[in-house]
Every structure is written in structure tokens, then in C-alpha cells.
Amino acid sequence: MIELDIITGIGGAGKSSALYTFEENGFYVTDNVPLEVVEKLFETYKKDPKKYAKVALSVSLDIALKTYELAKNCGGFNINFIGLYCEKSELLSRYRLSRRKHPKEANGMPLEQALDLEIKQINDMRLSFTHFIDTSKLSKNDFRKKLIFVALGSHQNDFVVTFVSFGYKKSVPQDVETVFDVRLLPNPYWVPELRDLTGLDEKIIRYVLDNDVTKEFLTKVISYLDYYLPRLKESERTHATIGVACSGGQHRSVVIAEYLAKYYSKKYKTIVIHKELL
């Protein structure tokens, strides 16, 4: 079977960076393919499976679902369908900094209108993706790490669990499917000598974990995940993204996300991303 990754997303959400990551990992990369040549391209891949053993194909949101359906109907592919999302405010900032134009601006559409259109498009097809990644606050390194472990790892039938810490003061990441609220745990923010530290510091880790409320909380969370994660794996899902949230995303959520990632690393591939520590 040829490994085929079809990548689409909102303009500015990271398609170019994704393709570079795939290329680094031995994939034959093709960018911005028009629908008219997709079927011929798939047939070309199948004629030389040795040369095209791993392929990454970037397409626009306008033709993404059609391309995915053609790949499934064509047969012979192990397919990842990857959607890249990003919040509008972050996209506007990226365009201002890069001074690049959105592709739809070339046809006279204002940038904000183009982004609104693509945000609606990607949300409408969200359930079709095998992987949906919110790049809004991911550093380039974290984005690359997530692609490698989540998307590329799925071809080896690895089940990957991503734990994402964040703060409710910001926004809930679009790609988390389950969120654990840890605001009931003791808050280091109210201890003056701990306030400026993060959940990666040993003093914060001990403050949070050495508490009876935290111990009881973790017992219940692990009990749930011990049920939930195997059910996802049995349903042929290749990944799960678990959110851990506190008020600011600096202390408690970081500690708990790190703890859970380490705990479940014995059973699954795990990665941890701290949205507010970037």
C-alpha cells in the first residue's frame, strides 16, 4: 500500500511548513494540485509504488473532499486526510508579518472575507479528516513534532495521544476532543514565591501533585482515560487530542498534562504541547 497524505487547510495555517516536514521524512511532495489532474496523478503513483511509496499531496479546501473521495475510490492507498486550522486573528497577524497575499485576494476577494469563507469550509468538512490540527499557537517546532508523531506515525499503526495544556483566559484549541478542567486543584498563582514559575518547575510540580485533591482527581481522570482511549483505538482511530485547562495555562494544566503524557507513554506514543508557554 502506498502511504498517501492529503493536506489541506486555511491559507496561512501551515500547509507549506507541513509539506517541508513530509519532504524531510522521505515523502514525495506535490503542491497545489488542480482537481483535473488528481486521478492521473494517483494512477502515476500506483504504476511505480517503489518510487512513490510515500506521497504528500497539498490541495486547496475547494477540492479537498473530492480529492479524498477519489483517493479512496482509486484503492491501493493508506490515506491520511489532514486539515490545518488557525484562528482568524492569528491568520491576520501572520499575513501582516509576512506581507504575503491570500490566493483568493488575486481574484479580488478581501482578505477577511477569504478567511471567513475558508474557516466555514474547513469546519463543514471537519468530521471527514483523519487528523485535524489547530496551528493557532503552535511554534514551528511543536507543529513539526505533532505532524511527525500524529500524522506520520499513523502509517505504522501507532496510536498517538496528544495532551494539550491551555488557559481558559485565552481560548479552547479547536483540535481537542476532550477537556479536563483542573481549576479545582490548588493554585500556585496565589503563592507569591511560586507565581512567576511554570508547571515545568519542580516547586510547582510538587505543590500540585503532593495534594490529596490532585491525587483523587488523577485517579478519576486515569480511570476515565483507561476506558476512553482503548475504545478510540478499537474504532480504528489513530490519534486522540486531550485538553487540560486551568485559568491561565501556566501552572496546574501544565503539571497535569505532563503527568498524563508520562503515565500513558507506557501504552501509547504521547506528545505534550503547552499552548500558553510558547
Domain boundaries, the chain: 2-157, 161-277
- Please report which residue ranges of the chain form alpha helices under DSSP H: 15-24, 38-47, 64-74, 88-98, 111-124, 140-146, 202-209, 212-234, 252-264
Closest to 135 measured CA to CA, from 147, 121, 118:
147
Residues in the chain: 278
189: which 3 cell numbers?
498563582
pLDDT tens for the chain, 278 residues: list them: 899 999 999 999 999 999 989 988 889 999 988 899 999 999 999 999 889 999 999 999 999 999 999 999 998 999 999 999 999 999 999 888 877 888 888 778 898 999 999 999 999 999 899 899 999 888 888 888 888 776 666 555 568 899 999 999 888 888 888 999 999 999 999 999 999 999 999 999 999 999 999 999 999 999 999 999 999 888 767 788 999 999 999 999 999 999 999 999 999 888 898 988 86
Question: How is domain 2-157 classified at the CATH fold level?
Answer: Rossmann fold (3.40.50)
